[in-house]
Amino acid sequence: MNKKIQLQDLGTKDYKSTWEYQEELFKGIVDLKIQNRREETNLPTPNYLLFVEHPHVYTLGKSGDFENLLLSEKQLEAKGATFYKINRGGDITYHGPGQIVGYPILDLENFFTDIHKYLRFLEEAIILTLAEYGIESGRSDGETGVWLGVGTPFARKICAMGVRASRWVTMHGFALNVNADLGYFDNIIPCGIRGKAVTTLNVELGVEKVDEAEVKAKILKHFTNLFEVEFQV
């Protein structure tokens, strides 16, 4: 079992090229697992965590409803945004500047073979990170991700999640709104859920800007403890 994770901070990177890079890393792990099985070898499989910030983009999961995008192609162009239908779970979401996106590409056989537990651990890493800022967050029944004000009329989502897994290898991941422009969420029905708002860390704290590098460091600390891993840069 390889419990080391290679950390890569990609900075600002186009969604499509990042998706292709994820697919490349994902395929490398899957191919090695197939080789191990075929040749009865036990070569260790690598794990990765990519941090990235995307230019304005909307993505729709494989089971999502296109009607949840409220913009035409021309309106997308006018807003400087792109759109992709992709192969993760979940419905529609937005990525853009001021948002920390994390893509764990892990061989879960190095950790535990339980997708439900994996998603709960991702959520917990964000919940514990927000707690360090004095923000109480949690889960909403039947709605993956991290929420504030669950069970109240003011429920609002601060972190969206959507993953794909095959042969216990994961890709895609989470998107935490830190300093994101909430106006871009007005152009979709986020995650296909009507009547619930979206928020950001800086809005909740009542500050102009939160240090994103600091937030990443806190996420890594909790990820390390939950998954019992060692990060390598």
Residues comprising the binding site? Answer: 88-95, 160-162, 173-175
Torsion of CA 83, 171, 166, 114, to 10 degrees: -130
68 HSE (CA, 13 A, CB side): 21
Question: 22 and 84 in contact (C-beta within 8 Å)?
Answer: no
Neighbours of 97 (CB within 10 A): 14
Q: Tokens standing for 76?
A: 């997308």
Q: Using CB atoms within 10 Å of the CB of residue 30, give its burial: 0 to 12 exposed, 13 to 18 middle, 19+ buried.
A: middle
How far is residue 9's CA from residue 216's CA, in Å, rounded to a whole number? 10
Cα 91 off chain centre by: 13
Q: Which residues are catalytic?
A: 191
